[in-house]
């Protein structure tokens, strides 16, 4: 039995092998600067751990592909550190990427589909270039719900035709949630220091919550989407997934930035990006902050309610002014409008993306045909109802699309989050992120236990952070902090203050040989 102990950074040392995979970025940088640890050794440790626990042992199946050049890159960065010092806080730090993020190297980018395996991207995604420039080591790619969970209405989170089913490290019979399943599991199980996920609606915060880690879904426009397999131009974003708010803030600071090829980031031409890690020095951020309780997003499970009430007690003890209730009062039509928008934008965005992959199927119709020609590999458990529905949609100048988009964004943003913030003079809103992980069911697909904290921030394009809040029968449950557009600075401070005052996270107990 491999016992994984939660050890504070101050107690960590290189000789404590079981703590190496739990150490945070600041601690690892200090060890590398002191010469007690190298990036090569760190990468090698994670490679051994992935082999022992992800490929063998409990076989969590979270890492879909390893970078064959990872150790060479680490060696180069170690030499650079000795000669010039580190480039950034990410210098030499291994990071995993969800397998819908382009890398122009010897790895594939498949979105979990075998249809993309005969072609590799010719350019790095914008965020990958930023990570490389900062000195990060791209360790590999993580498994995901195929096509970011936008292929079937009866899918199983964490399953892809290429990668199979990813398992939850707290209970392998339970779902890892999706679509950034592999990223959430890999971080929770200690297969990398941090990872990148992507979200359209819930795909960062749900796997972060059920795997007991921190996830950040940024404001749309803070992070470039160029080079990421799309679903929705109005909702897609990438974001960090980490074991602490501090590590997530470090990654966010690296990947945030304008990109002339992603018009959503044009707002950054007139807006400076804060020093997110520096903001976290304030450990009293909650004192006096007005935090609204979105009661209409809770109440779906009595066990989750207990965890949520404990989080509210902790926030109040930290000095927050709790406004309860502060409901969003979302219109019931929001879900239907969002779904209509996703169908239209998926068909359009995917065609533009596939044009950058000349050896892949060139439109949604061709992907549908590919799946029909390979049913045993691609559709052994569920079909492609969403593909078929999206392929029936017209262009983005359709009145149906334009009306649905305007109505959805208004209901979620100005009439939803913004109205609640203004009405109650709030600094942020909180809600349970989602319930505890459900059992994996490849026959009937996902059966979410309730909770809808992700939809309003997703549709409005506003930021959303989830932090571990407690455990329900040993399964992690997260609490969500969300607010208006560009409110990452205050949300990070609140989440960080809450995290340090509660210290909730527990590492999963993984059976298997110690690497």
Active site residues: 98, 179, 203
Tokens of 22: 């739990």
| Cα 340 to Cα 329, 346, 354, distances in angstroms | 21, 10, 22
Specify which residues 430 forms β-bridges with: 293, 481
Contacts within 8 Å (CB) and 24+ apart, 65-69: 65/99, 65/107, 65/108, 65/140, 65/141, 66/139, 66/140, 67/105, 67/106, 67/107, 67/137, 67/138, 67/139, 67/140, 68/106, 68/107, 69/105, 69/106
- 511 by DSSP, 3-state: which? coil
Tokens of 190: 């200690």
The whole-angstrom separation of Cα 49 and Cα 271 is: 41
The whole-angstrom separation of Cα 231 and Cα 401 is: 15
Specify which residues 172 forms β-bridges with: none
Q: Which run of H or E residues covers position 334?
A: helix 334-354
| Cα 327 to Cα 180, 271, 340, 434, distances in angstroms | 28, 30, 25, 17
Tokens of 382: 């569920």
- Residue 129 exposure: Cα atoms within 13 Å on the Cβ side: 15
The whole-angstrom separation of Cα 47 and Cα 66 is: 8
The whole-angstrom separation of Cα 139 and Cα 256 is: 20
Q: Answer whether 73's CB lies under 8 Å from 147's CB.
A: no
């Amino acid at each position: 039995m491999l016992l994984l102990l939660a050890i504070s950074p101050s107690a960590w040392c290189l000789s404590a092998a079981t703590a190496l995979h739990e150490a945070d970025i600041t601690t690892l940088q200090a060890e590398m600067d002191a010469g007690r640890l190298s990036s090569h050794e760190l990468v090698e440790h994670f490679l051994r751990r992935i082999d022992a626990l992800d490929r063998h042992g409990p076989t969590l199946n979270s890492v879909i592909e390893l970078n064959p050049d990872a150790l060479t890159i680490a060696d180069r960065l170690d030499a650079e550190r000795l000669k010039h010092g580190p480039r950034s806080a990410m210098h030499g730090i291994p990071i995993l990427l969800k397998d819908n993020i382009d890398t122009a190297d010897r790895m594939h980018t498949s979105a979990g589909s075998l249809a993309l395996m005969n072609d590799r991207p010719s350019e790095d995604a914008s965020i990958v270039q930023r990570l490389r420039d900062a000195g990060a080591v791209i360790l590999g790619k993580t498994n995901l719900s195929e096509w970011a969970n936008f292929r079937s209405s009866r899918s199983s989170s964490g399953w892809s035709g290429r990668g199979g089913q990813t398992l939850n490290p707290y209970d392998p019979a339970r779902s890892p949630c999706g679509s950034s399943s592999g990223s959430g599991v890999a971080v929770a199980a200690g297969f990398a220091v941090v990872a990148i996920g992507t979200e359209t609606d819930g795909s960062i915060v749900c796997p972060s919550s059920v795997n007991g880690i921190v996830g950040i879904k940024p404001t749309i426009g803070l992070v470039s989407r160029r080079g990421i397999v799309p679903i929705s131009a109005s909702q897609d974003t990438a974001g960090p997934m980490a074991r602490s708010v501090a590590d997530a803030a470090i990654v966010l600071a690296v990947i945030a930035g304008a990109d002339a090829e992603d018009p959503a980031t044009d707002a950054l031409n007139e807006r400076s990006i804060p020093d997110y890690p520096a903001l976290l020095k304030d450990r009293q951020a909650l004192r006096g902050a007005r935090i609204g309780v979105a009661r209409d997003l809770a109440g779906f499970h009595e066990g989750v309610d207990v965890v949520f009430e404990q989080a509210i007690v902790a926030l109040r003890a930290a000095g927050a002014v709790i406004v309860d209730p502060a409901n969003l009062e979302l219109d019931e039509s929001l879900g239907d409008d969002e779904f209509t928008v996703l169908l239209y934008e998926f068909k359009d965005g995917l065609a533009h993306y596939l044009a950058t992959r000349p050896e892949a199927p060139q439109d949604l119709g061709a992907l549908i045909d590919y799946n029909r020609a390979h049913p045993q590999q691609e559709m052994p458990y569920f079909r492609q109802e969403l593909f078929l529905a999206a392929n029936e949609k017209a262009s983005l100048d359709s009145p149906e699309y334009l009306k649905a988009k305007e109505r959805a964004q208004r209901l979620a943003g100005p009439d939803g989050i913004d109205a609640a913030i203004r009405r109650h003079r709030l600094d942020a809103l909180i809600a349970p992120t989602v319930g505890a992980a459900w059992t994996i069911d490849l026959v009937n697909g996902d059966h979410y236990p309730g909770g809808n904290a992700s939809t309003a921030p997703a549709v409005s394009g506003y930021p959303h952070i989830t932090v571990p809040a407690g455990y329900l029968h040993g399964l992690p449950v997260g609490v969500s902090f969300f607010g208006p557009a560009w409110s990452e600075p205050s949300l990070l401070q609140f989440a960080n203050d809450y995290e340090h005052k509660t210290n909730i996270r527990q590492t999963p107990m993984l059976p298997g040989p110690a690497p």
